[in-house]
Structure 1
Amino acid sequence: MQNSSLKWIYLIVLSVIWGSSFILIKKGLVGLTPLQLGALRILFSAAVLGIAGWKSLKTIKKQEWKWVLISGILGTGIPVFLFAYAETEIDSAIAAILNSSVPLLAFIFGILFFGARFIKQQFLGVLLGLAGAVALILIGARVNPDQNYYYALLVIAAACLYAINVNIIKRHLQDVSAMAIALGNFLFLIIPALGILFSTDFFELPLGTDSTLQTSIGYILILSIFGTAAAKVMFNKLVQISDPVFASSVTYLMPIVSVTWGLLDGEIFTFLQFLAALIIITGVYLGNRSKKARS
């Protein structure tokens, strides 16, 4: 299958997987602290990737390990904790919506620091998608006026790190296999994650008898296998066969999935939010239509 078609398949699948991750974080926080949730997510994902792709590490060259480390910290290590803390105060759907700023940030960082080309139509598509995301935020603020939107800054911070990470992968890890990048990322995070679990007395909790705790861990296990391990490999591949802005456009589609899950979980979703979601989809299409024609 040609990359021009394959990249859209990756985009849609990742949108469903990552769009569902926010509700899983919300459920995981019922029995876990943000630090415990983030650490478990790292360890579970590292275990899954280690089993599936240990041999791929041999393909990473010595000079590339530096960028694998940086990618791991910026693309996984810090964001997993930022999102966990953010969702202690704001809805899972709102977190996904705020994460829609990644394509615009990837576009800006790419031009400023990574030598990316300025493409007018892509820029207009990014702005349109961002406008839809802002509309969703404003509508959500009216529907849920009691939420602490200062915690939304944690999501914006994570979005900045994601935006830098996609440019790093495209610029410095283009020829490294997607599996090797993902597993290499998590190798550097295992020891810090274990340290966090010990510091929070996680291993002293009644893991065998507390059903709430067991359920929360189950949600994080699902999140780690699909939303972190498998999705990380797919996303790395998507960056390599497209470009940072297109790959990060997955964050424009994720809110549609996350809002749907939120609706099923009792959160409010209005007709105006539906219209804003359509604006987001239009922005993704506009930003990549001309590039698709040239592929």
Structure 2
Amino acid sequence: MSNQQRKWLYLIVLSLVWGSSFILMKKALISISPIQVAALRTFFAAIFILIVGYKSLQKIKKRHWKHVLVSALVGTFFPAFLFAYAIKGIDSSIASILNSLTPFNTFIIGALVFGFTFKKSQFTGILVGLIGTLVLIVKGADLNPDQNYWYALLPIISSVGYAFNVNIIKKHLHDLDGLTITVGHFLLVIIPVLIILGYTGFFTEFELNSETKPALLYIIILSVLGTAIAKVIFNDLVHISSPIFASSVTYLIPIVAVIWGIIDGEKLSIIQLLAGGIILFGVWLVNKAK
């Protein structure tokens, strides 16, 4: 399979997996606190990926570790907590839509901080996708007005972290494969999340019952598929494409998240369907630049 085929396959798989992660978080938050959902998600993902890929650690050289640490914090650790709290205050679909600011932030940060150059058509594609995202945000707010939009700041902050992460991987970790970077991430964050779980009383106060059992199942699925495996795929996608193309997956995520929202009883309008088409066109323009 060529890199061109692989990157589109990765983009589709990631949009499906990450688009489904928001509804999984929403369901888990019914009976488990946001901080524990985020910590458990990270912990289970760490256990899985370290068992599968621990041998990859030998590929990480001393010069890599500082970049792996920053990448782990802004791309894995903090976003897990920010999104868990965000979905407590706003709809999961709205949170996924706000995450679509990532390509725009990737473009700005890549150009200003990392010195990457981008083509005009890529910028056009970003703006088109952003327009589609804004339509989804406005229409979603109309259909679901009873939300605390201060929580909307949390996915926006996460999108900035993701933007830094993808540029760091492209510039400073380009000689490491996706699995190696992911293993490095979770090796560095597993101890902090264990401390957080202990501090919140999870090991002493948590009770396994009819409400928490399905919540744990949702978190395990989210951890293995939506965090560990998806991170490996995404890190590889960054290597075989551009930071802009890789981050454009966040334009497709809301489409999947909105579909899950419909299944879960949320509303969808014709305008939102049209906005989804605009987003897809924007992603096509970004890729056309290559």
Q: What is the letter of the counterpart of residue 247 of structure 1? A: A
State the one-letter code of the partner of 1:286. L
Measured after TM superposition, the shift of residue 289 of structure 1 is 1.1
Measured in 2, the distance between the counterparts of 1:89 and 1:271 equals 25
Structure 1 residue 199 displacement after superposition: 1.1
1:26 alignment counterpart: 26
The reply to whether residue 241 of structure 1 matches residue 243 of structure 2 is no
Q: Is the 8 A contact 2:50 2:186 kept in 1?
A: no
- Aligned match of 1:39: 39
Q: Is the 8 A contact 1:129 1:252 kept in 2?
A: yes
Q: Deviations over 1:156-200 (max 9, x none)?
A: 000000001000000000011211100110111111101111111
TM-score, normalization by structure 2: 0.98
Distance (whole Å) between structure 2 residues aligned to residue 78 and residue 273 of structure 1: 30
Query: Does structure 1 residue 139 correspond to structure 2 residue 139?
Result: yes
Question: How many Å apart are 1:145 and its aligned residue?
Answer: 1.0
Matches of residues 273-284 of structure 1 in structure 2 within 5 Å?
273-284=272-283
Q: How big is each residue's C-alpha offset from its partner over 1:70-116, in whole Å with a ceiling of 9 and x where there is no partner? A: 11001011000000000001111111111000001000000001111
1:222 and 1:240 map into 2 onto residues whose CA distance is 26
Q: Secondary structure at the match of 2:289?
A: helix
Q: Distance in 1 between matches of 2:201 and 2:289?
A: 53
Corresponding pairs, count? 290
SS for the counterpart of 1:262 is helix
* Alignment of 1:220 onto 2:215: no
Asked if 2 retains the 8 angstrom alpha-carbon contact of 1:207 and 1:214, the reply is no
Q: What's the CA shift string for 1:20-41, capped at 9, x where partnerless?
A: 0000010110111111011101
Residue matched to 1:62: 62
The answer for unaligned runs of 5 or more in structure 1 is: none
- Aligned residue for 1:257? 256
Contact 2:23 2:261 in 1 (8 A): yes
Partner of 2:7: 7
Q: 1:206 Cα deviation (Å)?
A: 4.7
Shift of 1:287: 1.6
CA distance in 2, matches of 1:53, 1:207: 31
The reply on whether 1:166 has 2:177 as its aligned counterpart is: no
**Structure-2 separation of matches of 1:131 and 1:148:** 23
Question: In 2, distance between residues paired with 1:38 and 1:290?
Answer: 36
CA distance in 2, matches of 1:74, 1:248: 14
- In 2: Cα distance, 1:104 partner to 1:137 partner: 16
Q: Which residue of 2 aligns with 1:148?
A: 148
**Which residue in the other structure is 1:198 paired with?**
198
- Indicate if the aligned counterparts of 2:119 and 2:289 stay in contact, CA closer than 8 A: no
User: Per-residue deviation at 1:202?
Assistant: 1.1
For residues 117 and 264 of structure 1, the distance between their equivalents in structure 2, rounded to whole angstroms, comes to 41
Q: Matched residues in 1 for 2:207 and 2:48: separation?
A: 21
Aligned pair in 2 of structure 1 residues 81, 206: CA closer, same or farther (>3 Å)?
closer
Alpha-carbon distance between aligned partners in 2 of 1:214 and 1:200, rounded to the nearest angstrom: 19
* Unpaired stretches in structure 2, ≥5 consecutive residues: none
Q: Which amino acid in the other structure matches residue 238 of structure 2?
A: V
Q: Distance in 2 between matches of 1:53 and 1:166?
A: 21
**2:124 maps to what in 1?**
124
Deviations 1:216-238 (A, max 9, x none): 11100000000000000000000
- Distance, in Å, in 1 between the alignment partners of 2:152 and 2:4 is 34
- Partners of 2:206 and 2:46 in 1: how far apart? 24
Give the Cα separation in 2 of the matches to 1:9 and 1:115: 28
Q: After the TM superposition, which residues 173-188 of structure 1 pair with which residues of structure 2 at under 5 Å, given as runs?
A: 173-188=173-188
1:87 match: 87
Amino acid in structure 1 at the alignment position of 2:37: L
CA distance in 2 between counterparts of 1:262 and 1:151 reads 18
The answer to whether the 8 Å contact 1:59/1:177 transfers is: no
SS at match of 1:70: helix
Alignment deviations for residues 9-63 of structure 1 (CA, whole Å, 9 cap, x no partner): 1000000000000000101101111110111011100011011101011011111
